[in-house]
């Protein structure tokens, strides 16, 4: 990765509906603009995300999506997520782009960030110079069923048992059951549920175990915001029609793009990246043979850096 770097500008974007979205800029103020979209939804950005781009060439824009990271109000303190939807986030991106006086930018997103990147690019293709996507997730029902309704239990039966412990003995859809627990005002109810939801993703995202990653996902404040926002999106199908992002990928035909996918990604299996590439044949699909889901696994990281390096000098 590129060396550690600090922002030269930052602030909170007032969305006009009670949300303040944290943003920051790093790298070359006169360089090629790129916007980084974090995962989750509800994950937030970290300093390491700045290091995916050549700071001498790129004007690097990162922001924490509504309700998480350094954005306000934080979902760990507020249960009102009515103004937190995919299309609110797409509008936030446009508002941020305009406020920074950026005509077009490269859009880089992994996991849920790939969902948001596709939603944005399909609505505003004229504003996207290139797309770099990782661990493709399009919020089709089959994808959510696999990861949250028992499919992945065939690979992770021990971790699935931990994930389902808070809802053991209850009948119904796990996603809906979790929604009730996470909305419960009692911290003794929503707290353990949030940690179980969050650590499921933390524990299953890598090809090899990373205990430090699981510990990060188990931090109560982080876990509560992450779980509440993510569950809120899945209960509402991301405010997307079934298969919408794949179906509408034809509008991306004039946008250069790279899709990086771990072969053994159990969080967002490779079939979604494959389906996207088939619908958008102008893209390049890189399947990393020895990786799971997370961006900093060696093979995935190398492919992402190769993509951003390739595009850095493109007008």
pLDDT single digits (tens) 65-120: 999 999 999 999 988 999 999 999 999 999 999 999 999 999 999 999 999 999 99
Which run of H or E residues covers position 261?
strand 257-262
Give the residue-averaged pLDDT of 206-210.
95
Mean pLDDT to the nearest integer, 253-264? 98
Catalytic residue among 74, 190, 277, 293: 293
pLDDT of the residue at 79: 81
pLDDT of residue 78: 85
The domains of the chain, with CATH numbers, are 9-140+239-312 (3.40.50.1820), 143-238 (no CATH)
**How, if at all, do strands 105-110 and 58-63 pair?**
unpaired
Task: Judge whether 293 counts as a catalytic residue.
Answer: yes
Choosing from 111, 114, 272, 283, which is the catalytic residue? 111
Question: With bands split at pLDDT 50, 70 and 90, how would you rate the model's confidence at 42?
Answer: very high
Residue 135, classed as helix, strand or coil, is: coil
Catalytic residue among 265, 272, 277, 283: 265
Average pLDDT, the chain: 97
Q: Which tens digits make up the pLDDT trace of 118-137? A: 999 999 999 999 999 999 99
Rg (CA), the chain: 18
Per-residue pLDDT for 284 more than 90?
Answer: yes
Average pLDDT of 45-63?
A: 98
How far apart (Å, rounded) are the C-alpha atoms in residues 283 and 189? 45
Predicted pLDDT of residue 289: 98
Strands 58-63 and 9-14: unpaired
Active site residue 124: no
Q: Which two tokens stand for residue 292?
A: 């799971």
Is residue 54 among the annotated active site residues?
no
Q: Using CA atoms, how far apart are residues 251 and 119, in angstroms rounded to an integer?
A: 11
For the chain, give percent helix, strand, coil, nearest 5: 45, 15, 40
């Amino acid at each position: 990765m590129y060396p550690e770097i600090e922002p030269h500008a930052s602030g909170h974007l007032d969305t006009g509906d009670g949300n303040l979205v944290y943003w920051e800029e790093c790298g070359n103020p006169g360089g090629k603009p790129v916007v980084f979209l974090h995962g989750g939804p509800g994950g937030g950005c970290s300093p390491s995300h700045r290091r995916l781009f050549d700071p001498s060439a790129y004007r690097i824009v990162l922001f924490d999506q509504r309700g998480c990271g350094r954005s306000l109000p934080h979902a760990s303190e507020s249960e009102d997520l009515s103004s937190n939807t995919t299309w609110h986030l797409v509008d936030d991106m446009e508002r941020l782009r305009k406020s920074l006086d950026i005509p077009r930018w490269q859009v880089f997103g992994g996991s849920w960030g790939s969902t948001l990147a596709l939603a944005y690019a399909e609505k505003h293709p004229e504003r996207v110079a290139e797309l770099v996507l990782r661990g493709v997730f399009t919020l089709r029902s089959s994808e959510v069923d696999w990861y949250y309704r028992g499919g992945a239990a065939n690979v992770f039966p021990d971790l699935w048992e931990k994930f389902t412990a808070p809802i053991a003995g209850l009948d119904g859809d796990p996603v809906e059951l979790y929604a009730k627990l996470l909305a419960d005002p009692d911290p003794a109810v929503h707290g353990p549920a949030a940690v179980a939801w969050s650590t499921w993703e933390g524990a299953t995202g890598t090809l090899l175990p990373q205990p430090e990653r699981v510990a990060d996902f188990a931090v109560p404040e982080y876990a509560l915001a992450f779980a509440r926002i993510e569950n809120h999106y899945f209960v509402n199908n991301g405010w997307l029609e079934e298969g919408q992002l794949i179906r509408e990928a034809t509008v991306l035909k004039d946008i250069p793009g790279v899709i990086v996918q771990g072969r053994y990604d159990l969080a967002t299996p490779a079939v979604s990246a494959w389906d996207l590439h088939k619908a958008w044949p102008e893209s390049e699909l890189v399947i990393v043979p020895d990786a799971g889901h997370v961006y900093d696994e060696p093979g995935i990281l190398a492919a992402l850096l190769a993509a951003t390096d390739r595009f850095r000098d493109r007008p």
